[in-house]
Amino acid sequence: MSAAETTSPEDAAPASPRSTPAASESAPVRPEAAPARPDTVPAHTGAAPSGPAPDTARRYLDAVTALLARVRDEEAAPGGPVERAARLLAATVTEGGRIFAFGAGHSSLIAQDLVYKAGGLALVNLLAVPGTLGVDVRPATLGSALERVEGLAGTVLDQSPAASGDLLVIISLSGRNVLPVEMAVRAREKGLKVIGVTSAAYAGRSRPDNPWNSFLAEHCDVVLDNKITVGDAELSGDGIAAPFGPASTAVTSALLQATTATAAALLAAEGTEPPLLRSGNVPGGLEWNREVFARHKERIHYQH
């Protein structure tokens, strides 16, 4: 079921507390039992670690909040990238163009969050590259491998309805692999406007991995920088070998929703009703959406 029709999950019934046997009820240790060897790893008892809980949750949320504040101050400043991207979106709506969104792997989840979304623009269509829609393929690493296949993006674009006058949003955290770069290059050759959503930090700390020897940001009309750290991990901790706490999904989704909301406000300011969807779980929502679909059926391809 799509986001426009789903409700929040019902509260789960409280689980029955498990009874824990008292220490006196434990089976007695037989005197003849052999002592455990010093190098034997104790069996896991299922008990939670004792001691005070680390403040990791607050550290992570503080890191995400700091990134969102940077996005607000740097990307969403008046006349900044968010406004410029929103103006491209609004112009595409008023000029009769279509809007597409593309991302590979976890970036595809962010692209999908723009499609058929309650409160979002109804005209956003997912540009899907088979095998790259998340972790739905087996093995999951196949999706990463497909991001490095030359010619795949061009083939998908040529078979899609995307054409001159349309707009394509491309989401890629690193912006360095073949698939997103080729998608941007080929889209502009076809006459589409391109909004790129990426982390500018990668351009300074990594090398392109594509035949154009360039990053996604170099092939876009507007670039939105999500400020994500190279490696997409905001935290480190004692006893934890790898950095952890990815923030790209939360921050990038917020950045794009801020952009589409700005586009809606710009449309309204110029006297155009923004083609927005309503939740199917509020009175009149489904009827509202059916009218929007009928009015814009030539530009909403997920209805066909």
- Lowest-pLDDT choice from 3-12, 118-127, 134-143: 3-12
- Pick 208 or 11 by higher pLDDT: 208
Residue 262, both tokens: 């700005």
- What's the pLDDT tens digit per position in 291-303? 999 999 999 999 8
- Pick 22 or 60 by higher pLDDT: 60
Q: What pLDDT was estimated at residue 137?
A: 85
Closest CA to 167 of 134, 144, 146, 197: 197
Q: What pLDDT was estimated at residue 45?
A: 55
- What's the pLDDT tens digit per position in 156-199? 999 999 999 999 999 999 999 999 999 999 999 999 999 999 99
Report the chain's mean pLDDT, rounded to a whole number: 87
- Pick 149 or 7 by higher pLDDT: 149
Whether residue 245 contacts residue 63, with contact meaning beta carbons closer than 8 Å, is answered with yes
Asked whether residue 288 carries a pLDDT value surpassing 60, the answer given is yes
Upper half-sphere CA count for residue 33 (Cβ side, 13 Å): 8
Q: What pLDDT was estimated at residue 303?
A: 81
Burial 24-36 (b: 16+ CB within 10 A, else e): eeeeeeeeeeeee
- What's the pLDDT tens digit per position in 220-244? 999 999 999 999 999 999 999 999 9
Neighbours of 301 (CB within 10 A): 17
- Lowest-pLDDT choice from 83-92, 139-148, 182-191: 139-148
DSSP designation for 17? P
Residue 5, both tokens: 């029709």
How far, in Å, CA of 67 to CA of 254, rounded?
11
Whether residue 105 contacts residue 141, with contact meaning beta carbons closer than 8 Å, is answered with no
Q: Among the residues of the chain, which ranges form H helices?
A: 56-70, 81-94, 106-112, 141-146, 152-159, 178-189, 201-205, 248-269, 285-295
Q: What pLDDT was estimated at residue 33?
A: 43
Asked whether residue 41 carries a pLDDT value surpassing 50, the answer given is no
Q: CA 22, 23, 28, 33 torsion: positive or negative?
A: positive
pLDDT class of 25 with cuts at 50, 70, 90 = very low
Q: What pLDDT was estimated at residue 281?
A: 97
Neighbours of 74 (CB within 10 A): 13
Angle at 15 between CA 10 and CA 21, to 5 degrees: 170
Q: What pLDDT was estimated at residue 2?
A: 45
Q: What pLDDT was estimated at residue 46?
A: 60
Q: One-letter amino acid identity for 186?
A: R
Asked whether residue 12 carries a pLDDT value surpassing 90, the answer given is no
pTM of the model: 0.83
**Cα distance between the two ends of the chain:** 16
